[in-house]
Amino acid sequence: MTNPISERWTAPTHLPRWYLDASALAKLYVRESDSDLLDEALDGREDLTTSDLSITEAISAAARRHREGTLSAPDLARVRSQLVADRDDGPYRCMSLVPELHREAERILVTVRAVPLRASDALHLAQAISARATVFLTFDRRLARAAEAVGLVVFPGPV
């Protein structure tokens, strides 16, 4: 079966760092559409970065799925436990929010006019820029457009 996303995307392996937002990070812990595509793209990569913000938002998304009845209580506990454990010992480097990132996010909020951004979106972009990421992994259409506006390559590409 063909995957329309994989037809649009060829993973450039020479890029120095990839940033995972919450929508991408969540797909690594809760199986959903495009989880396999993401697993394949990340297989063997050692240049992954995410943030405490992504972890909190991914846990929030899992908790929402539990409230909606699509994720069991044991699965929610497993997802939370694994995300927290991987924060320090996982396959990615994890960034914390510091005042400088807030200032960069504020700059992004007032300069990226083509895309209406939430504060958390701007914080993700600021973290990716600070990490010197060149690929921004997101499944959020608005955030993908904003990432492109600040010069990042977006995976899985235009959605």
Q: What is the pLDDT along the chain (159 residues), one digit of tens a residue?
A: 333 333 434 444 454 589 999 999 999 999 988 899 999 989 888 889 999 999 999 999 999 999 999 999 999 999 999 999 998 888 889 999 999 999 999 999 999 998 999 999 999 999 999 999 999 999 999 999 999 999 999 998 765
Question: Which pLDDT score is estimated for 46?
Answer: 85
Q: For residue 102, is it within any domain?
A: yes
The count of structural domains within the chain is 1
Q: Does 6 map to a domain?
A: no
Amino acid at 99: P
Sheet-wide strand order for 93-95: 93-95, 48-51, 18-20, 135-137, 153-155
- Tell me the CATH number at 151: 3.40.50.1010
Domain encompassing residue 84: 16-30+46-155
Q: Is residue 38 part of a domain?
A: no
